[in-house]
Chain A
Amino acid sequence: RKEVEQDPGPFNVPEGATVAFNCTYSNSASQSFFWYRQDCRKEPKLLMSVYSSGNEDGRFTAQLNRASQYISLLIRDSKLSDSATYLCVVNIGSTGRRALTFGSGTRLQVQP
């Protein structure tokens, strides 16, 4: 079983739609959680950190459910520029070896 699992998609949605991505992680000792965005063949970039209380940044809302080991990302009012792959990322491991572990990514295509 992968440590971080995501639906690969693609999710094809019209402009203006609301879309939600989910991610599950297997290690209950995971310490911190992130969503990264990766455009085709480019480097991943931090979209937002995910906090236990949930957090929002403009059209983006991230939620964490530690009991279910589940992370979500909600995008409202989708724009063409939101088309990308969204990577769920978890900080896993012991103190000295805590490493970012990446899901395989969920591809989003926003259509006009």
Chain B
Amino acid sequence: EAQVTQNPRYLITVTGKKLTVTCSQNMNHEYMSWYRQDPGLGLRQIYYSMNVEVTDKGDVPEGYKVSRKEKRNFPLILESPSPNQTSLYFCASRWDNRNTEAFFGQGTRLTVV
């Protein structure tokens, strides 16, 4: 089954404690991205990757890091989480960044206290 898998689904952490949210896709997609979703603001892109070892900032990259060492995996790293990073996070993958459908992971609800 074609899917994007995120883990964990729920996470409560404390300010400053490094965390990683994993994302894996089994569709051999080149293009992957991370979004955060906040009430009234919609989904905003954090980082994206056009292929292995190619990553770039989206609209709200501050406080986040990513890596793309393998095509299927695109982890999101919060080196020093802060309460304003409390949000719902989605990983997405697409065949490319043109007119193709985006497939989303099930989301990670992160709370930073």
Q: Contact size class for A?
A: 20 to 34
* Chain A residues whose CB sits within 8 angstroms of the CB of B58 once the complex forms: 99
What band does the interface of chain B fall in when counting residues whose beta carbon is under 8 Å from A?
20 to 34
**Out of B42, B48, B101, B106, which one reaches A43, CB within 8 Å?**
B106
Q: Given A43-B107, A44-B104, A45-B104, does the pair A99, B97 have CB atoms closer than 8 Å?
A: yes
Known: A43-B90, A43-B107. A102 touches B99 (CB 8 A): no
B33→A32 contact, CB < 8 A: no
Cβ distance B97 to chain A, nearest Cβ, rounded Å: 5
Residue ID in chain B nearest A51 by CB atoms: B99
Instruction: Using known A-B contacts A99-B45, A102-B43, determine if residue A32 contacts B106 with beta carbons closer than 8 Å.
Output: no
For B102, give its contact among A8, A96, A100 (CB under 8 Å).
A100
